[in-house]
Structure 1
Amino acid sequence: MTGQLGIPTARRRYITVCALFWLPLGLSLAPLILLLTQRGMTMTAISGLFAAHSLTAAALELPTGGMADVLGRRAVLMAAGLLNMTALALIGLGSAPWLLALGMVLMGAGRALSSGPAEAWYVDTVHADSGPDSDLRPGLAGGSAATSAALAAGTLLGGALPWLLGVGPDLGARLGEASSGLVLPLSVPLLLGAAVEIAFVLYVLTSLPEPPRQAAALGDVLRGIPATVAGGLRLGGRDAPVRRVFLGAGAAGSALVVIELLMPGRAAAHAGASESGAVLFAALACAGFVCSAVGSRLAPPAARTAGSGERVVMVSLGAGAGGLFLLAATAASTGTGALALSVVGYVLVYLGLGSAGPNQNDILHRRVTSAGRATALSVQSLALQLVGALTGLVVGALRPGPVPWLLGGAVLLAGSLLWLRRSGPAPSAPEPTPPQPLAATPGES
């Protein structure tokens, strides 16, 4: 049984899983857009690839969440690692547009598979050990901080490696000649990330024990997908706090896509070259993820001080919106003052999102049951991916300047304003037994 691990061990393993899963994606973050540009892709085409990733994740979120609730957390997490390994290898080595598109689609599928199982495993373990009233925020904050730390370290390394390889032209040429031009300096971080994914799969296999589950044929799971999707869509409709969590995740997705699409080009323009631009963006992204980790660590004491996690979510998302507005105000400026304001805005975005995340998830876990926990997390990730994909398509069609930043800030501000109204107390009824794929206590209408 998972409850025999004890909370400290479960927390440590959950944090390790978070770090191992997100480290490869951090490695790919700084060089990805610049690599696609070197492969001959336009910004419109790159926006389309990111949309393919996000829409794939959105389409698979609820079905894969249901699979994790029925088939088990560990098997679904291992599948996510294998898909990400394949995706990173394809994008790192592929030059044909269809290979790059396939890699982004597989990465989206891996993201969908990973969006709930690890957290659901941790919450189930804590509940089995100490009951449903256990304080989840320390572990959730630890996992969020580990995610941010892994992204920071991966982004810094992923940005530095191409620059180090590019400094030595002979080494870069040898890399290119060895693979008929498929391996560029910007490819190396993605290939290293594919190797890390193997370690992730092995760790999940050996370190996340689960209680026996009722045998379920894959065909039965697939036939239950329509009901799972319908249940996930009904969840937010019948519980107002859960609905706000889902909408807040969508607002965060919009903000993150704006930064992911626009900051690499902004950094390259300041640096004057792709490789040095990757280093600059890596440093910025690393600082952002460190701020996110700090925000996550501050989430539990902030909730205790404010007397409500909902207040912290409102203020945090509002601070992130303010950061995007500062980035919009400085989008066309190059002076020292504008650069300082840009840094402040960037820090505010990540501090705000980092602080909001654990508090939102604590609210969510107190209102759903174990039978539907992974599915509820998938609905949350669905909102993030879907709104992010739509925002990315709009940003790709807009002219460079302040307008794309203003769009992300407005969406995040709307997500903050959702929390102005207080919610009723969290449900305390005992969790029912399956077979319901989703279960939540109705909140305010």
Structure 2
Amino acid sequence: MTARQTRRRYLVLLALRWFPVGLWVPITVLLPLDRGLTLAEAGLAASIQGFVVLALELPTGGLSDSWGRRPVLLASATVGAVSVALMTVADTFAVFAAVYLLQGVYRALDSGPLEAWYVDAALAEDPNAKLERGLSAGGTVLGASVGAGALVTGAIVAWAEMLGIPTLVLPVILALIVQLAGLAAIALLVHEPPHPAGRRRFLASVRDVPRVVADGVRIVRGSRILVCLLLVELSWGFGMVTFEALLPVRMTELLGGEEAAAAIMGPAGAAAWLASAAGAALVPLLTSRLGVAVSAALLRVVHGVTVVGMGLLAGPVGALTGYLATYLVHGTANPPHMTLLHREVTSTHRSTVVSMNSMVAQPAGSIGAIVLTALATGTSVSTAIVVGAVVLALAAPLYLPAARAERRRPAAV
């Protein structure tokens, strides 16, 4: 495959991966409540996913490196389809818990191998390839797919009626259809050269996972750049609580009630993902002028500024303006960060290191949720948002080692 063919396949697979997420996000809480669960039960069931992802993130990353990208992607898509199929009939806490357990396995398996497959193929074609171009296009497709899915669910819930099928189940059925299409697309579109270790049985690959993971950890510990990039991800995970959890609370304060805030946050969430897609599309223009590392550092500072705006700008319009600006920068910031990460690893440990990067955000987000919600309770929501913004912006100097290394790199064509 040429680099262009690989990129097209990568973007198609990303769209099929994330469109179902957009379909599901608006009804994440509504469906279990409609099926008779309490809000506490719905939250407890959903929390299972995070614990499973945290436990499996590194082992599944190692499995992708030891077994291959394609088989792990196929396994991931199969588990994801089973979980969505189970979701269509879930009506008790136990069944929803099983749904989220499977979703956790799916997310852990899915974290890294598709991006690693694309990067491996791009670098095989050109060792000096500008990875930020493909990754920014991927960010655009991801954001647009989630935003489009959320809009489709909104339209279904508002207008669609089908005899014998509850309205809230229709987006889940559509998500299942797209998920199955994604599984077929992986089987057809993802090809990779024979694994360096040769054709290996699944159990042999599983036995090799601890060694691959340990090697990945040693690689990170031995690289100042990778350590700094993972520290950036810690900051990011902590700060994301501001716009993922605290903005709806601020909107409740500004609008005078939860129902009014919920009515606004639905379309605002879809618009935010579309803004994220637009931000990702700007990456090649920015990095061509400033370089990848300098762009990444600058975006951390700008991200903090937009979050401050979300917390301090007057009125609902001001808060939403800050929210959309935050997501615009959020979409722009990820491709440069991941480009710098991929530059520091080889194919042998690529998925493992990507999984480590993803994994550190989980506990950081949990700490952020505890600290910032407590701060919001003790002081104000705006104060907590500003503190989260400061943590985001303070990560900018951590890109300095990568910036120095970038200046020493040969110019990419």
Question: Under a length normalisation based on structure 1, what TM-score does the superposition of the two structures give?
Answer: 0.80
One-letter amino acid of the counterpart of residue 31, structure 1: I
Distance (Å, rounded) in 2 between the aligned partners of 1:218 and 1:369:
22
Match of 1:355 among 316, 327, 332: 332
* Equivalent pair of 2:66/2:209 in contact (CA under 8 Å): no
Alignment of 1:192-211 (within 5 A): 192-211=174-193
Alignment of 1:309-320 (within 5 A): 309-320=292-303
Distance (Å, rounded) in 2 between the aligned partners of 1:252 and 1:27:
25
Unaligned 5+ segments in structure 1 are 166-170, 331-336, 430-445
**Equivalence for 2:274:** 290
* Equivalent pair of 1:318/1:416 in contact (CA under 8 Å): yes
- Report the alpha carbon displacement of residue 9 of structure 1 after superposing the two structures with TM: 0.6
**Equivalence for 2:356:** 379
**Equivalence for 1:14:** 10
Q: Does 1:303 align with 2:287?
A: yes
SS at match of 1:425: helix
**Equivalence for 1:225:** 209
**Equivalence for 1:438:** none
Distance (Å, rounded) in 2 between the aligned partners of 1:346 and 1:36:
28
**Equivalence for 2:137:** 142
One-letter amino acid of the counterpart of residue 372, structure 1: H
* Equivalent pair of 2:48/2:97 in contact (CA under 8 Å): yes
Is 42-51 or 205-214 further displaced after alignment? 42-51
**Equivalence for 1:366:** 343
Match of 1:155 among 142, 150, 153: 150
Q: Does 1:252 align with 2:236?
A: yes
Q: Does 1:76 align with 2:72?
A: yes
Is 252-261 or 69-78 further displaced after alignment? 252-261
* Equivalent pair of 1:27/1:189 in contact (CA under 8 Å): yes
* Equivalent pair of 2:220/2:353 in contact (CA under 8 Å): no
- Report the alpha carbon displacement of residue 361 of structure 1 after superposing the two structures with TM: 1.4
- Report the alpha carbon displacement of residue 158 of structure 1 after superposing the two structures with TM: 2.0
SS at match of 1:216: coil
* Equivalent pair of 1:31/1:278 in contact (CA under 8 Å): no
Distance (Å, rounded) in 1 between the aligned partners of 2:256 and 2:2:
49
* Equivalent pair of 1:251/1:411 in contact (CA under 8 Å): yes
* Equivalent pair of 2:340/2:402 in contact (CA under 8 Å): no
Alignment of 1:179-198 (within 5 A): 183=166, 185-198=167-180
Distance (Å, rounded) in 2 between the aligned partners of 1:278 and 1:82:
33
Distance (Å, rounded) in 2 between the aligned partners of 1:317 and 1:154:
28
Match of 2:82 among 83, 86, 95: 86
Distance (Å, rounded) in 2 between the aligned partners of 1:265 and 1:246:
29
- Report the alpha carbon displacement of residue 119 of structure 1 after superposing the two structures with TM: 1.2
Alignment of 1:269-280 (within 5 A): 280=264
- Identical pairs, percent: 28
Distance (Å, rounded) in 2 between the aligned partners of 1:70 and 1:371:
8
Is 355-364 or 81-90 further displaced after alignment? 81-90
Q: Does 1:415 align with 2:411?
A: no
Residues 322-364 of structure 1: per-residue CA shift (max 9 Å, x gap): 333333336xxxxxx4122212211222122211111111111
- Could you say if the C-alpha distance between residues 360 and 422 of structure 1 is closer, same or farther in structure 2, counting changes exceeding 3 Å? closer
- Could you say if the C-alpha distance between residues 422 and 294 of structure 1 is closer, same or farther in structure 2, counting changes exceeding 3 Å? same
Match of 1:328 among 311, 314, 331: 311
- Report the alpha carbon displacement of residue 202 of structure 1 after superposing the two structures with TM: 0.1
Distance (Å, rounded) in 2 between the aligned partners of 1:322 and 1:190:
37
- Could you say if the C-alpha distance between residues 6 and 53 of structure 1 is closer, same or farther in structure 2, counting changes exceeding 3 Å? same
Residues 374-413 of structure 1: per-residue CA shift (max 9 Å, x gap): 1121111112333234434666777494465345434423
One-letter amino acid of the counterpart of residue 246, structure 1: L
- Report the alpha carbon displacement of residue 14 of structure 1 after superposing the two structures with TM: 0.5
Is 405-414 or 10-19 further displaced after alignment? 405-414
**Equivalence for 2:123:** 127
Is 145-154 or 380-389 further displaced after alignment? 380-389
Distance (Å, rounded) in 1 between the aligned partners of 2:225 and 2:266:
36
**Equivalence for 1:439:** none
One-letter amino acid of the counterpart of residue 55, structure 1: F
- Could you say if the C-alpha distance between residues 107 and 120 of structure 1 is closer, same or farther in structure 2, counting changes exceeding 3 Å? same
Aligned residues: 403
Residues 118-150 of structure 1: per-residue CA shift (max 9 Å, x gap): 1111112122222x1122121111111111110
* Equivalent pair of 1:25/1:151 in contact (CA under 8 Å): yes
SS at match of 1:8: helix
- Could you say if the C-alpha distance between residues 379 and 352 of structure 1 is closer, same or farther in structure 2, counting changes exceeding 3 Å? same
One-letter amino acid of the counterpart of residue 317, structure 1: R
- Could you say if the C-alpha distance between residues 67 and 161 of structure 1 is closer, same or farther in structure 2, counting changes exceeding 3 Å? same
Unaligned 5+ segments in structure 2 are none
Distance (Å, rounded) in 1 between the aligned partners of 2:390 and 2:294:
19
SS at match of 2:168: helix
**Equivalence for 1:345:** 322
- Could you say if the C-alpha distance between residues 353 and 297 of structure 1 is closer, same or farther in structure 2, counting changes exceeding 3 Å? same
**Equivalence for 1:29:** 25
Match of 2:106 among 93, 110, 118: 110
